[in-house]
Structure 1
Amino acid sequence: MVQIQPIVPNLTTVSSIFHQISKALSVLLNESKLPVWSTNVTSTSGLNSAVAVILDDGNLVLTDVGLNSAEPVWQSFDHPVETVLPGAKVAYDKRRNKSVPLTSWKSREDPASGLYSLELHPVRLMVALKWNGSIQYWDTGSWDPLLANPFYKYNYTRNENENYFNYSAYNPSVISRFTMDVSGQFQLRTWSESTKAWNIIWAQPENQCQVYALCGNFGICRPTGLSLCYCMTGFHPRSQSEWNQSDFSGGCVRKTNFNCSGNDEKPDFLTLKVTSLPPNNSVAVGSVGECRTTCLNDCSCNAYSYVDNGCSFWNGELSNLSEDNFNGKTMYIKVASKDLASLKKNKTIIIAIVIGPVASGILVIGLLVFLNYRRKRMLAGKTSMEGSLVAFAYRDLQLATKNFSEKLGGGGFGSVFKGVLRDSSIVAVKKLESISQGEKQFRSEVSTIGTIQHVNLVRLRGFCAEGNNKLLVYDYMPNGSLHSHLFHEKQENVLNWKTRYEIAIGTARGLVYLHEKCRDCIIHCDIKPENILLDGDFHPKIADFGLAKLVGRDFSRVLTSMRGTRGYLAPEWLSGVAITAKADVFSYGMMLFELVHGKRNTERFEDSNFTFFPSLAANVLKVGGDILSLLDSRLNREASVDEVTKVFKVAYWCIQDQEDNRPSMSLVEKILEGVSDVNMPPIPKYVNFFVDKTEHNHFFTKISSNGHSQSNFSNVDFLSDSASSS
């Protein structure tokens, strides 16, 4: 621990760090003597000799050595700002009837209080995220059981003075912290000694566009864009420098202000599709035309919408808008006419292209000639790279995908759309996000990925790199992802056991190729059912290999945004050590359990209970029980007992705590093919953690008023609103 020099009453030296002012402990700037921070704690009798000590856990403790008391005068763990370290509190003060919130910084560079905070509920066992201390945009509800794990212990304590939540790490070497981030997300970060950086391993809300007013007034949140926020047409950032630093809270302002004095600058309307409409003033008018006219003639009206024969107006500044061009609700934003001129000009050109051929046979012929030229260009005139990889023009892919209208899926790397090339071949086009590489480096990396070809890997056919547009073109897999077949309740199209076993072997072969047969070992980093695609014959093909390297340093952030990824992450992702191919082995093992069971490994229920399937299976495997009782119930026990047992043994070997104890994928392949035998595996520690506790697992350990633990993730019910406070 670090001891800071004693604090003596009436100390006036310029070099002092801590000082007593009006019986309150404060920090001063060394030269100016102006207080920049205070504990806000006063002493009625004055302090004899106060000592400030930073403990090994990061807690700054102020004690009065002149008093015969072990209680500190003040400690930072009782007063967190934006970060909670293990042992620190997130509390509700019953004496003041007030929450002690975590509050974000104002910006990345300014530690003043920001707009976002996290507060503990005064009665219920939950926390909520709020904007400006008033508008709640996320809460834990039934706590996420994925956080109930052997890496961290979460405690909730109630006594006569306060309720509080804190946590501790079972492995003290794992350096972690919870943070109320300036982005509005509540994040859990761990320190990576290898990269000397904090890695985000959990963040809520996962979709950042759910953060209230993330993009400020008149800003639009785009969940799949290269930038989260953008200004709608006719507006620009209030502070471009802040936006360049990804601080969007200042929002957008009009490029051109219009007034109601009757001058020649007239407003018009911009059409916008949003996820949900903000609170509004409703007015009963007869038609959409009357709704538009009413808003146009009302100087204070900034936008209108006409939904279900009802007209809604917005008079103030608009915030909390999220783009949804597929299923969104339509709003009409009032904008200066001249700011819409260029947009209307483009629309006029498009209309002319569409109407022209109808009016003129000559233009029809010209259009056919033009399209034939485009077809030849796509089939023969595309820029070839090393091997057969092709460079597509962005407009060609827009045409092939019908302007990206048929979405197949999406994840942290981007969204995937179905497309048809001019030769009638069907492709899957992935629009990449979070790619900050320049075009030259991007082409180089993609060229390398393009040379990697194997029967169990999705073939990369081409790419597009035009400015900020980075896209990859893959073979289309008609049977979709393994995820779509495992995790649905319908009885039709259920994968039989033979197909599942072949999928396990084929996926192993693909990973062997990536890990051992390529010039450089390629670690996938995101093996899960969503990334195992099935061709027309249900042969497995691994997707998204090599993309971790394209994302580079931002990969940790991308991982946290992938829905469902965390349940497949190896322990080393949490500890911060270097990631090896054995991380893929772990993820593969977790996927094997789901391949057998046909459900997610972690199943949650409305009463906040959850089950962890690897622990359930461990109970059966250890005692030599009915192994087919663990099989997907839709298979009606139609499977080979030997093969199911073998898959379970392999799965447990793959998810061993220490990566050195996990097999290579080549050994896994040999075992599944019957070339090598497999012994009974030891059950990993974190799986044993839930063994015999799999029926009633909860997020928190309840602590009684005397501070003693009553139980540990077992048979602990959430405290209801009417629970006793003692």
Structure 2
Amino acid sequence: MALVKYTSSDKSALGGERSCCLSPGADTISANQTLSGDQTIISSGGNFELGFFTPGKSSKFYIGIWYKKVRQQTVVWVANRETPISDKNSAHLTISDGNLVLLNESQALIWSTGLNSTNSNNSSVVAVLLDNGNFVLRDGSGSNSSLGQPLWQSFDNPADTWLPGGRIAFDKRTQRKQLLTSWKNAEDPAPGLFSLELDPNGSQYIIRWNRTEQYWTSGSWNGHIFSLVPEMRLNYIYNFSYVDNENESYFTYSLYNPSIISRFIMDVSGQIKQLSWFDNSDWNLFWSQPRQQCEVYAYCGEFGTCNQNSLPFCNCLEGFRHKSESDWNLRDYSGGCVREMNLQCENNGTTSNGRRDRFLASPFMSLPENSQSLTIGTQGDCENACLNNCSCTAYAFDGNGCSLWNGELLNLQQLSEGDGNARTIYIRHSASSSVFSGGKNNQGVIIGAVLGSVAVVVVLLAIIIAVVWRKRRQTVGSSKPVEGSLVAFGYKDLQNATKNFSDKLGGGGFGSVFKGTLPDSTVVAVKKLESINQGEKQFSTEVSTIGTIQHVNLVRLRGFCSDGNKKLLVYDYMENGSLDSHLFHANESKVLEWKTRYEIALGIARGLSYLHEKCRDCIIHCDIKPENILLDAEFCSKVADFGLAKLVGRDFSRVLTTMRGTRGYLAPEWISGVAITSKADVYSYGMVLFELVSGRRNSENSEDGKVKYFPSWAARVTVDGGDVLGLLDPVLDRNADVEEVLKICKIACWCIQDDENIRPSMGQVVQILEGLMDVNLPPIPRSLQVFVENQEHIIFFMDSSSASQSSQTKSDNSSANSTHSKTNTSSTN
């Protein structure tokens, strides 16, 4: 926008010397008024305030709108995003020639609503801040003017925030898109690199980097939710709707409860986030997309690497430094990194001092896009091809051939060692770079190499001696290591370790568990499997796959035995046994306090989330129940018996399998015979949560012979706002955090929804329990309502360890389907 400087003769027209002062608390700027300094206008209901503000520790000023009732200043709209002012007392926001304009301290025009002409009387134009956060310019003449169409409104020109009632639209006539654009950083509201827009080719949203590279899509709108945003199924706060006509298409949303303070933002992180303000405490994240920070394209800038498992997420490649230290301190990584030393290869392909550039390997990386592929037979040829091109900055060579990258590298990700997508990329550096350990001193390099070689030899000898000594101590019959850290035990070895399977710890559908001690005094739990028909090779392969999976909330599998029909699994021994022994058979010395129960619930969720979402193949446990949750010496919960769970390849979302698990924890889809997903485990987890709260089985026989079903009671209390602490295990004497108990009950109700699509993922459950995501009131599952209406259907829910119900066995199968009829209870948007 061209700057226009106004002289003193123009001031009267701009509301300068002859303008009226704003009344305190006013919501309107009239044609003869101006706003400057600390003056503000406040919406009629007191929800929003408009005036000059300074973001963070910045010394620059902007005109913006923020929440009046939120303790921490949260700006939702900025006028002069790219042109701040330095003196708010000399700057003016006023109305001129039918436009709202902002003049800086030099009286230069730096922002305007930009209306070419209006049919309105310019002297009657007013700017009003509405109670929904919309700042509108309208013709103030006429008694019904407030109901007319605004001449201009901030809702049509959003910054980074989408408020309820606003729209993110596409104008089919002008091809104009409304963008939701991130701030550059926390102290600079200038448009950043990340923007949300409506896809003109379909009813979905997309996020772009630098207005070009699309890295996320919401999926298509099905009338209720976006297909790739399943969190919306948990939504009972926001009412989304989609409008598509010949002139435009847009999404808008409203709040079921208007008293809730909520916002939707395009965050500086490159993620869209839905947040709500509760209890005057802090902003609560309802959901965000993409879920993983490193899924945001080029989040760490040029030559920066993103690591999902570290904080901060961004780091520079070795041999590079932050381009702007101040930006990185503000978590603005978009500028990326620059070389600590320029390349030898410079203009016209010449070299410096006759020395050529070299390459440094960066292992376990995801390869950037836009590579040049060459058909070259060896890595040496691939390296030379890059070296001979001065614009080539990196290469990779593997079974797929040679790939070269020219110019800056973007979207590098540091992956874990076991990640199947991890590759090694070779980054070009000056031969004199410090990454090659002092390339200027060849003598020093030689001496260092010699000393290093000697040190390596000494270390290798020490390792060899230690390994040999350890093997002599730990040799267990014919036991031998296999893939990963697993050991293939001989049957006689385990027979000796368990004293001929004499110390039984427990048992279940797959077999019995015995305590054992290995020759190195390691205490283990040995499970003898029954009715396992896999061939030896198939069994070993499946167990080896499971054996490579390690997580703090999964019981570690140490090894196995496959000797004909004798199949055994060897686990770490858990000192505090299984969860059921503490919940259902507890004495005073074994009472689990509420804090411990909450941590146990979180640990189980983390373990299942790892199996479902973090492994190379999705692993469905199929039998989540208290008996399969073990507790170590510190009462850290660990999911057990996943060794023979169902492996599901990432190319498949469902798997057909024979029915397994325990009645009382089985999801309805097991009964209906459809292929199951990981949501079957989610259902079982919900049932376990109810038992963690109550300290008893979900189904119990009362003294009058009727069956008590705790989930029905808990769901009704949760949804109707009853006495939540009254649901607690009596031994806790109501000693618990009421908000945590309510949160657990809400999650449990969501997990046991009849429609698996409405249930949350275990990753979402983890976020809710960790306080990173909110959970709303759930609908009462239809199956629980049916139970209340007809208690004959209770048999399906009975746990296998409950009292025998032989007289009702015949009605079991017939009632199951009707009890768990698949009903979509979602009325979410």
- State the TM-score, normalized to the length of structure 1: 0.59
Alignment deviations for residues 148-171 of structure 1 (CA, whole Å, 9 cap, x no partner): 543221111234432221100111
Residue matched to 1:38: 112
> Is 1:55 matched up with 2:130?
yes
Whether the 8 Å CA contact 1:91–1:164 is kept in 2: the answer is: yes
| Cα deviation digits, residues 451-479 of structure 1 (max 9, x gap) | 999988753557xxxxxxxxx98767343
Shift in Å, 1:290: 0.5
Q: Work out whether residues 287 and 309 of structure 1, in 8 Å CA contact, stay in contact via their aligned partners in 2.
A: no
Q: Deviations over 1:210-229 (max 9, x none)?
A: 11111101111111222211
1:132-143 superposed matches below 5 A:
132-142=210-220, 143=226
Secondary structure, aligned partner of 1:166: strand
* Structure 2 partner of 1:491: 657
Distance change in 2, residues 1:254/1:512 (3 Å) = farther
Tell me the alpha carbon deviations over residues 4-43 of structure 1, each in whole angstroms, 9 at most, x when there is no partner. Answer: 33123999998785324565321234x4434443222232
Query: Matched residues in 1 for 2:107 and 2:437: separation?
Result: 57
| 2:573 is aligned with 1:479 | no
Partner-residue secondary structure (3-state), 2:263: strand
Deviation, 1:72, is: 1.7
User: What's 1:340 paired with?
Assistant: 435
Tell me: higher relative CO, structure 1 or 2? Use CA pairs within 8 A at least 6 residues apart: 1
Shift of residue 241 of structure 1? 2.8
Shift of 1:110: 0.4
Distance 1:451-1:98 versus aligned 2 partners, 3 A rule: closer
How does 1:409-448 map onto structure 2 within 5 Å? 426=572
622, 631, 644: which is aligned to 1:459?
631
How far is 1:592 from its partner? 3.9
Q: 1:112 aligns with which of 170, 190, 193?
A: 190
Partner in structure 1 of residue 370 of structure 2: 279
**Shift in CA distance, 262/199, structure 1 to aligned 2, threshold 3 Å:** same
- CA-CA distance at 1:306 after TM superposition: 2.0
User: Is the aligned partner of 1:165 residue 2:243?
Assistant: no
Residue of structure 2 aligned with 1:289, choices 360, 380, 393: 380
Name the aligned partner's letter for residue 218 of structure 1: F
- SS in structure 1 opposite 2:195? strand
Distance 1:453 1:310 in 2: 48
* Local SS of the residue matching 1:37: strand
Over 3 Å counting, the alpha-carbon distance change for 1:506 and 1:39 in structure 2 is closer
Residues 120 and 641 (structure 1 numbering): CA distance in 2 closer, same or farther, change over 3 Å?
farther
Structure-2 residue corresponding to 1:100: 178
Q: Output the amino acid matched with 2:268.
A: V
CA deviations 1:597-623 (Å, max 9, x no partner) are 8x454499xxxxxxx996553675576
1:410-453 superposed Cα distances (whole Å, 9 cap, x missing partner): xxxx99795869xx97389xxxxxxxxxxxxxxxxxxx979999
Q: Is the 8 A contact 1:269 1:334 kept in 2?
A: yes
In 2 relative to 1, CA 8–336 (structure 1 residues): closer, same or farther, beyond 3 Å?
Answer: same
Residue 584 (structure 1) shift:
0.9
Give, in angstroms, the shift of residue 230 of structure 1: 1.4
Alignment of 1:122-161 (within 5 A): 122-142=200-220, 143=226, 144-148=229-233, 149-161=235-247
What residue ranges of structure 2 are gaps of 5+ in the alignment? 1-24, 38-88, 221-225, 346-350, 440-444, 474-545, 560-569, 575-594, 602-625, 668-683, 697-717, 722-736, 762-777, 799-807
1:627 and 1:18, CA in 2 relative to 1: closer, same or farther beyond 3 A? farther
- Contact kept, 8 Å, 2:344 with 2:352, in 1: the verdict is yes
Question: 2:382 is paired with a residue of what secondary structure?
Answer: helix
Tell me which amino acid in the other structure corresponds to 1:333: I
169 and 592 in structure 1: CA distance in 2 versus 1, 3 angstrom threshold: same
Change in CA separation of 1:578 and 1:160 when aligned onto 2, cut-off 3 Å: farther
Equivalents in 2 of 1:450, 1:620: separation in Å? Answer: 30
In structure 2, the residue matched to 1:436 is: none
CA distance in 2, matches of 1:631, 1:12: 68
Q: In 1, distance between residues paired with 2:719 and 2:31?
A: 47
In structure 2, which of residues 344, 359, 363 is the aligned counterpart of residue 259 of structure 1? Answer: 344
Q: Which residue of 2 aligns with 1:8?
A: 32
User: How far apart are the structure 1 equivalents of 2:293 and 2:430?
Assistant: 30
> Structure 1 residue aligned with 2:279, among 173, 180, 193?
193
Q: CA deviation at 1:642?
A: 8.7
585 and 363 in structure 1: CA distance in 2 versus 1, 3 angstrom threshold = closer
Q: How does 1:556-567 map to 2 (within 5 A)?
A: none
Moved more, 1-10 or 201-210: 1-10
- Measured at CA, do residues 147 and 571 of structure 1 come closer, stay the same or move farther in structure 2, by a change above 3 Å? farther
1:546-557 equivalences under 5 Å are: none
CA distance in 1 between partners of 2:207 and 2:553 (Å) = 28
Are 1:60 and 1:76, in contact at CA under 8 Å, matched by a contact in 2?
A: yes
**Which stretch shows the higher mean deviation, 202-211 or 45-54?**
45-54
**C-alpha offsets along residues 69-122 of structure 1, whole Å, 9 cap, x if unaligned?**
522221212221110111011011223112111111111110111111111122
Q: Secondary structure at the match of 2:657?
A: coil
The equivalent residue for 2:423 is 329
> For residues 678-702 of structure 1, what are the alpha-carbon distances to aligned partners after superposition, in whole Å with 9 as ceiling and x for unaligned?
xxxxxxxxx99x64xx6xx885xxx
Classify 1:475/1:74 alpha carbon distance in 2 versus 1 (closer, same or farther; 3 Å): closer
State the shift of 1:324 in Å.
2.3
- 1:378-423: CA deviations, max 9, x gaps? xxxxxxxxxxxxxxxxxxxxxxxxxx994446xxxx99795869xx
In the other structure, the counterpart of 1:682 is none
Partner of 2:408: 317
Alpha carbons of structure 1 residues 336 and 579: separation in structure 2 relative to 1, 3 Å: farther
1:309 to partner: Cα distance: 4.6
Larger CA deviation: 81-90 vs 143-152? 143-152
One-letter code of the match for 1:42? N
Answering whether residue 261 of structure 2 is matched by residue 175 of structure 1, we say yes
Percent of aligned pairs with the same amino acid:
30
Residue 134 of structure 1 deviates from its aligned partner by 1.2
2:168 pairs, out of 44, 66, 90, with: 90
Q: Of residues 204, 210, 214 in structure 1, which corresponds to 2:295?
A: 210
Gap change, CA 1:499 and 1:296, over 3 Å in 2: same
CA distance in 1, matches of 2:450, 2:693: 51
Distance in 2 of aligned mates of 1:348 and 1:588 = 63
**Counterpart amino acid of residue 129 in structure 2:** I
Q: 1:259, CA displacement in angstroms?
A: 1.9
Query: 2:442 — aligned with what?
Result: none
Please give the per-residue CA displacement for 1:281-334, whole angstroms capped at 9, x wherever unaligned.
223323222101221233221011224452221111000112223212332111
For 1:183 and 1:452, locate their aligned partners in 2 and report how far apart those are by CA, in whole Å: 29
Inter-CA distance 222–505: structure 2 relative to 1 (3 Å threshold): closer
Name the CA distance, whole Å, in 2 between partners of 1:602 and 1:80.
Answer: 34
Match of 1:678 in 2: none
Work out the CA distance in 1 between the residues paired with 2:656 and 2:453: 45
Partners of 1:194 and 1:169 in 2: CA distance: 18
Comparing 285-294 with 502-511, greater Cα deviation is found at 502-511
Residues 21/491 of structure 1: CA separation in 2 closer, same or farther (3 Å cut):
same
- For normalisation by structure 2, the TM-score amounts to 0.53
Q: Which has the larger radius of gyration?
A: 2
AA at the equivalent of 1:329: R
Q: Matches of residues 672-683 of structure 1 in structure 2 within 5 Å?
A: none
Query: Any idea what SS the aligned residue of 1:322 has?
Result: strand
Which of 192, 196, 199 is equivalent to 1:121? 199
CA contact (8 A) 2:102 2:111 kept: yes
* Alpha-carbon spacing, 1:571–1:450, altered in 2? closer, same or farther (3 Å): closer
SS class of match (2:352): coil
Query: AA paired with 1:63?
Result: R
Kindly report which structure 2 residues correspond to 1:684-723, keeping only aligned pairs within 5 A, or say none: 691=825, 699=829
State the AA in 1 paired with 2:435: L
